[in-house]
A and B are shown apart, each in its own frame.
Chain A
Amino acid sequence: QSALTQPPSASGSPGQSVTISCTGTINDIGTYDYVSWYQQHPGKAPKLIIFGVTERPSGVPDRFSGSKSGNTASLTVSGLQAEDEADYFCSSYAGGHDKVFGTGTKVTVL
Chain B
Amino acid sequence: EVQLVESGGALVQPGESLRLSCVGPDFILGGSWMGWVRQAPGRGLEWVAHIPPDGREKYYVDSVKGRFTISRDNAQNSLFLQLDSLRVEDTAVYYCVTDRGFGAVDNWGQGTLVTVSP
Spell out A's residues near B (CB within 8 Å). Answer: 3, 32, 34, 36, 38, 45-48, 51-52, 57, 89, 91-93, 97, 99-104
Contacts and interface: CB of A to CB of B under 8 A. Distances in A.
Given A99-B47, A103-B44, A104-B44, A45 B111 contact: yes
Contacts of B47: 99-101
Interface of B: 44-47, 50, 59, 95, 100-106, 108-111
B105 A46 contact: yes
Contacts of B110: 45
B98 to A, nearest CB: 10
Contact of A92 (B101, B103, B109): B103
A36 B105 CA distance: 8
Contacts of A52: 104
B95 A45 contact: yes
13 contacts: A3-B44, A32-B102, A38-B105, A46-B45, A46-B95, A46-B108, A48-B105, A51-B106, A89-B44, A97-B50, A100-B47, A102-B44, A103-B44
A101 B102 contact: no
Q: Is the interface of A mostly helix, strand, loop or mixed?
A: strand
Contact of A45 (B59, B101, B102, B108): B108
A96 to B, nearest CB: 9
A99 B103 contact: yes
Given A89-B45, A101-B47, A102-B44, 11 more contacts: A34-B104, A36-B105, A38-B105, A45-B95, A46-B105, A48-B105, A51-B100, A91-B105, A92-B103, A97-B59, A103-B44
A101 B101 CA distance: 15
Ranked 4 nearest A-B pairs via Cβ: A99-B103, A34-B102, A51-B104, A45-B108
